[in-house]
Amino acid sequence: MNKTNIQEILPLVEMPSRYLGNEANTIKKDPSTVDLTFALAFPDLYEIGTSHFGMQILYTILNQEPKIAAERVFTPAPDMEGLLRDRQIPLCSLESRKPLNTFDIIGFSLLYELNFTNILTMLDLAQIPFYADQRPDTFPLVIAGGPCAFNPEPLADFFDLFVIGDGEEVIVEISNKVMEWKATQKDAASEPGAKQALLKRLATIQGIYIPSFYRADFNDQGFQTLEPLFPEHATVKRAILTDLAKVPFPTEPIVPFGKPVHDRLRLEIARGCSRGCRFCQAGIIYRPVRERTVPDLVEITRTAMAATGYSDVSLLSLSTGDYSDLAHLMEELLAINSDQCTAISLPSIRAGRLTPELMRIIKRVKKTGFTIAPEAGTQRLRDAINKNITERDIVDTVTNAFDLGWRMIKLYFMNGLPTETQEDIQGICDLALRLAAIKPQGKGKARGKSKANINLSFATFIPKAHTPFQRSAQISTQQSIDNLNFLKKNLRHPGINLKWQNPEMSLLEGVWARGDRRLARVLVAAWEKGCRLDGWSDMFNFDLWVTAFNETGVDPAFFTTRERSADEPLPWDHIDCGVSPQFMEEEFQKALTPETTADCRENGCMGCGICDFETIEPVVHPCAPPLTGAAVSDTPMARPGDNMNLAKYRIYYSKLGDARHFGHLELAKIMRRAIRRTGIKVAYSKGFNPSMQMSFDDPLPIGMESQEEFFNITAEATTTPRQIVTGINKVLPKSISITGCAPLAAIRNSQKVNPETTYRITLNGDTFDSQEIDEFMTLSEFQVEKTSFKGKRRTIDLRKVTQRIDFLDSSHIEMVLIKDEDRTIRPAEILTTVLGLPEKAVQTATIVKLKQGNSIC
């Protein structure tokens, strides 16, 4: 998006704040002053991409390098995509609005197979050819990494290279080699063969896979084999960050606008898992376990909360409950922000890991969600997948969660696990009904009568690369549907809410997870037919994919519902994940018995092959004494404001320029976080889910600017208005400014409410008709009928609420409006209904609510 065009486009899209790029803690460098520009590209919408912690890590690491500018770009929503195409504006980064095709490196994050068409959307909008061999030898270098890169073959034709494994150190090595290349080659960098010479340098970095260095062949059975063109690059060994403390952690993460999927501080407490679930790709490709220390995590959290204004913390790990010193960590985190209503989210607790000590701590915190994953309905099948939990563990964990205050439990089960029978599907029903019968413990008369609910998610198992089940067949779509219908029929219980993934989406995910290079042409064909944002159920169109497979002659069943023999070459055989093929074959044979494998954290090395015990080994920290000296207590946390002398303040602010693109909920969130960042002590509501005591005046609609709005807060009485104004302005976006503040009592005693509101309106491209305005103002009434969002109809006299319209010139007017009883009438209603302006003209107009002269300091 060109700088000159962004303002005229943003009013026309549904969520313009997705594209502003001026969130708190963004890093903006002048691209002309650095040696390397790096676009971090996430192939999904902003609210998904900004929740991806890995992208935030890379953003921090790259921007700490003085010679590198890293910027972000996400897949635009369909409305923005359409506008970019109509206006012929190339896709640009958020921070500097630099066109994507002018970056040195574009790095895509590959987290989910159903995002793959979004990659083509972004390349096409950036005017970059899809296929790597069709792009010139000049930059940008198009690369990718993430869990989907462990089978890179379906996307191999589109990328110059893949990063296999942990990217923190590799990404800096790539950047340095590219900068060295640029400095030494200059004009030679544009000569034929220049890119291959650069790729040869990059291929020396551990974890780098160069698809063009291999030739794909297919035998009579349709199996792909790869012939390395250079013997030294026959296999690609995964990159492993041996100690998480070796690289910078994002202590000042970007705080997204809008409502991202994970709207809280994300704290990676450990990477890797030692449990050895046989279905879990992440459990293989992130080995070994590497924990951060409690002191490091506490310091990171303290710094990050001050820099973001977050009050909720989510502990990230493949198995959070396995962190060696979890109770101690939670105590220390709660002590950091005792005046900010901290909530600690445990995304998933393994059944059996709720210790009495941990339970006492959890009683003190706000409950944000509780998830456990039995995966299978019978003990036999749980043993086959090496889940290593019993039904007793599951029942006790759910019982404890209910007793600790959770009233909503999420359960995850899989459909189509290897060796599954109908008895296992029935077992899901039996277990779910048993859990739904558990009565949470209330107080007094409510004891045993509290309501609790279970959200049961049912998804089709997809045998992923680099797992013991990588050669297993995926069940057919019809079988998946039959199993789902069985659950629907047998789980009719008021306390159980059944959710499921679309089996057709699962089939497509399976194709891309285990496919080969023949799928490239399928992806292009599907994209050309209109496939976009396939991971979103309302956008997914399976019929288009079926047509794409048929037209390209590729059978999806070849990659999914077919069992693969032990001697069949796999498309990912050249990728060394670190875990030996022998270990995975042994694990598969154990699944057939079934026989479990113990956790190496507790029972010693199981011989998976990942550790050499010299440079690569588990990093697990012993329990340590509390940093604060605080004893574990089950006393509920005190709420901010409980022991303060409080006063109410009115805070005035302006929202101009880019701030007009914030919806009311976004604006309120920005203000709350800004107040937390200042350290001003404010009061919170009581109850289960405390919130900052803040009330806004009549919210402005999105797209409108204002010279003066206000909101009220309750804060410590010793706080001065000047402290509030100065403190909040330091951390607000530039387009929002605190203009005044005073104790609310003083305002109520000295000011009268002004019933009139004045707006200045500027049209961009359209014109006002002065005669039409005069004719309206001579009318005695202009009644229209409106329907509220609740379906109620009412009549409004628009002439009565319009006190004055001053015609300044053909592009500018001033309009003075009053309320219709308790309803605020906005200029847009007058402009469209009375003056007959088209909706697009109103959307692109600049409408500014003028200052009423109320603010005082």
Instruction: Look at residue 625 in the predicted model and tell me its pLDDT.
Output: 67
| 171 C-beta neighbours (distance < 10 Å), count | 28
User: CB of 505 within 8 A of CB of 536?
Assistant: no
Nearest to 305 by CA among 357, 343, 257, 351: 343
Residues contacting 228, CB < 8 A, separation 6+:
213, 214, 234, 574
Residue 708 lies in a domain: yes
Tokens matching residue 732: 């607000």
Whether 744 and 767 map to the same domain: the answer is no
Say how far apart CA 346 and CA 367 lie, in whole Å: 9
Instruction: Look at residue 711 in the predicted model and tell me its pLDDT.
Output: 95
DSSP-assigned states of every residue in 257-326: SS--SS-SEEEE-EE---S--TT-HHHHHT-S-EEPPHHHHHHHHHHHHHHH---EEEEE-TTGGG-TTH
Instruction: Look at residue 752 in the predicted model and tell me its pLDDT.
Output: 63
CA 53: distance to chain centroid? 8
Residue 245 lies in a domain: no
| 482 C-beta neighbours (distance < 10 Å), count | 15
Residue 582 lies in a domain: yes
Residue 627 lies in a domain: no
Give the end of a domain, one of 701, 723, 751: 751
Residue with tokens 């009220």: 712
User: CB of 835 within 8 A of CB of 769?
Assistant: yes
Residue 362 lies in a domain: yes
Whether 783 and 763 map to the same domain: the answer is yes
User: CB of 833 within 8 A of CB of 798?
Assistant: yes
User: CB of 18 within 8 A of CB of 257?
Assistant: yes
Residue 830 lies in a domain: yes
Q: What is the DSSP letter of 405?
A: T
Nearest-10 Cα torsion for 124, 126, 129, 133:
-140
Say how far apart CA 836 and CA 833 lie, in whole Å: 6
Three-state secondary structure call for residue 653: strand
Whether 773 and 720 map to the same domain: the answer is no
Give the end of a domain, one of 714, 733, 751: 751
Residues contacting 511, CB < 8 A, separation 6+:
113, 519, 556, 559, 560
Question: Cα angle at 833 between 832 and 834, to 5 degrees?
Answer: 100
Whether 324 and 228 map to the same domain: the answer is no
CA atoms within 13 A on the CB side of 806: 6
Which residues of the chain have a pLDDT value below 70? 1-4, 186-192, 338-342, 348, 366-369, 442-450, 625-643, 687-689, 748-754, 788-790, 853-857
Residue 618 lies in a domain: no
Say how far apart CA 113 and CA 167 lie, in whole Å: 19
- CATH, residue 346: 3.80.30.20
Say how far apart CA 118 and CA 158 lie, in whole Å: 13
Instruction: Look at residue 444 in the predicted model and tell me its pLDDT.
Output: 43
| 638 C-beta neighbours (distance < 10 Å), count | 12
- CATH, residue 833: 3.30.70
Nearest-10 Cα torsion for 88, 89, 91, 94:
-160
Say how far apart CA 352 and CA 122 lie, in whole Å: 44
How much is the CA Rg of the chain, to the nearest whole Å?
30
Say how far apart CA 42 and CA 118 lie, in whole Å: 9
Say how far apart CA 621 and CA 293 lie, in whole Å: 6
- CATH, residue 46: 3.40.50.2300
Whether 382 and 488 map to the same domain: the answer is yes
Instruction: Look at residue 629 in the predicted model and tell me its pLDDT.
Output: 46
Whether 702 and 837 map to the same domain: the answer is no
Adjacent-strand bridge partners of 105: 38, 141
Sequence-separated contacts (24+) of 537-543 with Cβ below 8 Å: 537/502, 537/505, 539/78, 540/114, 540/502, 540/504, 540/505, 542/504, 542/505, 542/508
Whether 743 and 773 map to the same domain: the answer is no
Count the domains in the chain.
4
Domain around 76 = 6-237
Give the end of a domain, one of 751, 778, 796: 751
Q: Which residues of 58-93 are buried (b: 16+ CB within 10 A; e: fewer)?
A: bbbbbbebeebbbbbbbbbbeebbebbeeeebbbbb
Tokens matching residue 429: 């029903």
Whether 738 and 763 map to the same domain: the answer is no
Whether 213 and 284 map to the same domain: the answer is no
Strands (E), 563-720: 575-576, 646-655, 694-696, 704-716
DSSP count for the chain of H helices, then E strands: 27, 29
Three-state helix/strand/coil letters over 704-771: EEEEEEEEEEEEECCCCHHHHHHHHHCCCCCCEEEEEEEEHHHHHHHCCCCCEEEEEEECCCCCCCHH
Say how far apart CA 37 and CA 46 lie, in whole Å: 21
Residues contacting 589, CB < 8 A, separation 6+:
none
Whether 660 and 589 map to the same domain: the answer is no
DSSP element (H, E) containing 372: strand 371-375
Three-state helix/strand/coil letters over 156-204: HHHCCEEECECCHHHHHHHHHHHHHHHHHHHHHHHCCCHHHHHHHHHCC
Whether 762 and 733 map to the same domain: the answer is no
Say how far apart CA 206 and CA 202 lie, in whole Å: 9
- CATH, residue 642: 3.30.70.580
User: CB of 372 within 8 A of CB of 348?
Assistant: yes
Residue 629 lies in a domain: no
Whether 738 and 771 map to the same domain: the answer is no
